[in-house]
Amino acid sequence: MNLQTKITVAAPDFLIDYNSRLMMLGSCFAENMGSKFSYYKFDVDVNPCGIIYNPLSVANVLRLIVEGKQFEKSDLRQVGGKWVSLYHHGAFSSTDPDECLRRINDRLTKATGELRTLDLLVITWGTAWVYRYTRENIVVSNCHKIPSQEFERSRLSVEDIVKEYLMLIGRLREINPGLRILFTVSPIRHWKDGAHGNQLSKATLLLAIDRLREELQHVYYFPAYEIVLDELRDYRFYADDMLHMSGFTVDYIWERFLYSFISPEVLGLMNQIGRVNKGVAHRPFDPQSEEYHRLVKKMLAEIAMISRSYPMIDFSEEKRKLNEVIVG
């Protein structure tokens, strides 16, 4: 008996392994998937400007990366005692403008340096609704609690998005001809738009992606939105707010992604890394016990074995924590 409507994920013409270089941009769903890649030690950069939700804000971030933009104090705004960037999430803000600029420019410099060697850019759109800061006529990534009357709110059209990304993807592929781009639509609902407004927004995003896939090569789609709405289709898969995904749902979508886009040849290595991560996170009753020290030495030996075969995987933080246990 089949109790689910199983969503088919189209087989891609590429697979991700530990030689792949990834960047993930977009909503908190991109953060969820990016954290999985980071946990398993893939080479991934997640949201170098912080969480962003709409296609134009994602496009703005990509332009900053392409241009190698370095922010100056004149690019910041002071709001409620903090210095902020309208292109960045609040995580980059600071009471000290120099600290804000350091956070912003360090991440942008890193992302610009990675662009030419990226294998896969994963873009997750959350909403087609945008906020335009009327003083400067720019679509912002975050309103930073600036008074609402200083913004105009509107919903992008399919044509708006497609026009923007046809030019932008062309520019990206000029810089990096081997770049592949994978789109997803976040299954998280934007309830402030209302039920109907949310559906119109998601439909706009889906139609825009479909158009881009028709017109461009090396553009792909992963149906996270459809998996949640049609395959899971139950409020028990949502968090307490009934809008965001539960941890189980994130794990389920990750598993669907894993078996669709990640090379089967690295699954064993991922399991090894998972065991190391669990061991490092373990908090023993007696950290000085001989038994725990044996376990730590075993984990260090396993890290050394993995590093010999995969020197590109960075275990520096794990080794630091484990060595601190042994030193005492």
In a domain, 180, yes or no: yes
- On the question of pLDDT at 44 being above 80, the answer is yes
Give a yes or no: residue 151 inside a domain: yes
Instruction: Identify the H or E element spanning 7.
Output: none
Euclidean distance between the first and the last CA atom of the chain, given in angstroms as a whole number = 56
CA 235 to chain CA centroid, Å, is 24
pLDDT confidence of residue 238: 55
Whether residue 235 has pLDDT greater than 60 = no
Question: What's the confidence (pLDDT) of residue 243?
Answer: 58
State the average pLDDT over residues 18-41.
Answer: 94
Q: Read off the tokens for 110.
A: 């890193």
Mean pLDDT of 208-232: 93
How high is the pLDDT of residue 246?
A: 78
Q: What per-residue confidence (pLDDT) applies to 284?
A: 78
* Percent of the residues in the chain that have a pLDDT greater than 90, as a whole number: 73
pLDDT-based confidence at residue 210 (cuts at 50, 70, 90): very high
Report the share of the chain in percent with pLDDT over 70.
95
Domain boundary among 262, 278, 299: 262
> 288 versus 184: which is more confidently predicted?
184
Map tokens 């030495």 to a residue.
297
Residue 14 lies in a domain: no
Q: Other CB atoms closer than 10 Å to residue 80's CB: what's the count?
A: 10
For residue range 258-282, what is the model confidence (pLDDT) as tens digits?
999 999 999 999 999 999 999 888 8
The verdict on 246 and 153 lying in the same domain is yes
What pLDDT does residue 285 have?
Answer: 78
Considering only CA atoms, which of 115, 99, 116 is closest in space to residue 65?
A: 115
- Could you say which of 229, 262, 295 is where a domain stops? 262
* Token duo for residue 90: 């609040």
- Nearest of 55, 225, 224, 28 to residue 127 by alpha carbon: 55
User: Is 80 exceeded by the pLDDT of residue 241?
Assistant: no
- Decide: residue 222, CB within 10 A, 0-12 exposed, 13-18 middle, 19+ buried: buried
- Residues 254, 272, single domain; the answer is no
196 and 287 in a common domain: no
Asked if residue 193 belongs to a domain, the reply is yes
Same structural domain, 154 and 244:
yes
Calculate mean pLDDT across residues 305-313.
Answer: 93
The full DSSP string for 241-276 is TSSSBPHHHHHHHHHHHHHHHB-GGGHHHHHHHHHH
pLDDT digits (tens, 9 = 90+) for 80-108: 899 999 999 999 999 999 999 999 999 99
16 in a structural domain: no
Q: In this structure, are 130 and 194 located in the same domain?
A: yes
Q: How many CB atoms lie within 10 A of CB 281?
A: 9
pLDDT digits (tens, 9 = 90+) for 114-159: 999 999 999 999 999 999 999 999 999 999 999 999 999 999 999 9
Strand boundaries in 158-224, DSSP class E = 180-185, 219-221
CATH code of the domain covering residue 134: 3.40.50.1110
Partner residues linked to 125 by β-bridges = 185
Predicted pLDDT of residue 72: 97
Q: Give me the DSSP letters along 10-75.
A: PPPS--B-TT-EEEEEESHHHHHHHHHHHHTT-EEEE-TT----SHHHHHHHHHHHHHT----GGG
Tokens 């950069």, residue located: 45
* 136 and 32 part of one domain: yes
Handedness of CA 119, 124, 128, 133 (dihedral sign): negative
Radius of gyration for the alpha carbons in the chain, expressed in angstroms and rounded: 21
Residue owning tokens 């559906």: 199
Average pLDDT over residues 171-181: 96
Give the model's confidence band at 2: pLDDT under 50 very low, under 70 low, under 90 confident, else very high: low
Q: How far apart are CA 221 and CA 311, in angstroms?
A: 31
Tell me the pLDDT band of 239, cut-offs 50, 70 and 90: low
Residue 249 shares a structural domain with residue 170: yes
- Please say which residue of 245, 262, 279 terminates a domain: 262
Identify residue 296 by its one-letter amino acid code: V
Are 232 and 276 members of one domain? Answer: no
Measured CA to CA, the distance from residue 198 to residue 204 in angstroms comes to 10
- Rounded CA-CA distance 158/102 in Å is 36
Query: 3-state DSSP helix/strand/coil percent for the chain, to nearest 5?
Result: 55, 15, 35
Q: Is the pLDDT of residue 236 over 80?
A: no
Do both 46 and 139 map to the same domain? yes
56 pLDDT higher than 80: yes
Range of the domain at 270: 265-327
Q: How many domains does the chain have?
A: 2
